[in-house]
Structure 1
Amino acid sequence: MQYVEVAGRLLLATLFALALAGKVSGRGAWDGFVESIREMAVIDKAAVPAAAVAVTVAETAVIVLVLVPLRWAGTAGFALAAGLLGCFALAIRAVTRRGAAVPCHCFGPSRTPIGVPHLVRNAILLAAALLGLAGSLVNGSFDLALSAVAGVFGAVLGLLMARWDDLVALVRTP
């Protein structure tokens, strides 16, 4: 389970770092992110700016917590990530059920509307966060080489999850 924890830490650090960078990389990216929350219409419009800030603060906290090499920090990071991903999944489900064509600005500017593939991605990520949480609660010894392999695996998975829209487009029939 320790290697699941290591892979999960690097997956979440990579994924949330890319998501955060996409949101705060410039005024246009930030405005697009805030507007996408507004268009989702899952919270009161007056709360949208605060929600955008809260999301970025929570994503930053996940990144920091999963990168701190202390068991309690990893556990807290996995729990926070699971809560955040659960909230994202609920919002995506609400938008999808309404059939609203709201672009996904999860990783920066995009024209891809939120849909079932985003719900699938969030379910996979939520499962990964919960597996990492379980792994963080198990004591055991680490082999440095296997930990490095698990970490690289997790980081690559994080990169792939961040490019989920592109991966879905590859397998969709035209």
Structure 2
Amino acid sequence: MQYVDVAGRLLLITVFALALAGKVSSRDAWQEFVQSVRSMAVIDRGKAPAAAVATAAAEAAVVVLAVIPLRLAGTAAFLLAAGLLGCLTVAVAKVVRRGAAVPCRCFGASQTPLGVAHVVRNLILVATALLGLAGSLAHGHLDVAFCAVVAVFGAGLGLLMARWDDLVSLLRV
């Protein structure tokens, strides 16, 4: 189970670091993210900037906590990630249910409107965070070489999650 912790941490580090970078890479990227939060219309429009800051801060906290090689830090990272992803999943599901054409700004600039595929991606990430949480509670000895393989696997899965829109569009062809 500890290898699930390692893979989960690397997946979350990859996903949340890319998501955060896409939002804060430029003033325009940030403004587009804030506007997408407003357009989602799941909170009061005036609270959108604060919600955007809270989202970015939570993403940064997940990355920092997941990098710290202590069990408690990993547990906190998985709990925070599951909570954040749960909230985001509910918000995206509300947008999809309304049929609103709000672009996904999860990883920066994108014209792809939020859809069922985004809900599915977020549910996969919630499940990953919960599995990682279970793994972070396990005890035992880790083989360093296998740990490295598992870490690369987790980061690779994180890259696939970050390119989810592209994967879904390829499968629709």
Distance (whole Å) between structure 2 residues aligned to residue 139 and residue 43 of structure 1? 41
Match of 1:47 in 2: 47
> How far has the Cα of 1:102 moved from its partner?
0.2
What is the number of residues matched between the two proteins? 173
Q: After TM superposition, list the pairs within 5 Å mapping 1:87-126 onto structure 2.
A: 87-126=87-126
Distance (whole Å) between structure 2 residues aligned to residue 124 and residue 51 of structure 1? 23
Q: Deviations over 1:137-164 (max 9, x none)?
A: 1111100011001100000000000000
Structure 1 runs (4+) greater than 2 angstroms displaced: none
The alignment status of 1:21 with 2:21, answered yes or no, reads yes
Distance (whole Å) between structure 2 residues aligned to residue 61 and residue 102 of structure 1? 26
The runs of 5 or more residues in structure 1 that have no matched partner are none
Distance (whole Å) between structure 2 residues aligned to residue 139 and residue 41 of structure 1? 44
Match of 2:146 in 1: 146
The alignment status of 1:157 with 2:157, answered yes or no, reads yes
- SS of equivalent residue, structure 2 residue 7: helix
Distance (whole Å) between structure 2 residues aligned to residue 29 and residue 172 of structure 1? 28
CA RMSD of superposed structures (Å): 0.4
Distance (whole Å) between structure 1 residues aligned to residue 108 and residue 171 of structure 2? 22
Distance (whole Å) between structure 1 residues aligned to residue 66 and residue 134 of structure 2? 14
Q: Deviations over 1:90-133 (max 9, x none)?
A: 00100000000000000001100000000000010000000000
Distance (whole Å) between structure 2 residues aligned to residue 133 and residue 50 of structure 1? 28
Distance (whole Å) between structure 2 residues aligned to residue 103 and residue 81 of structure 1? 22
Match of 1:132 in 2: 132
Relative to the length of structure 1, the TM-score reads 0.99
- Residue identity (%): 69
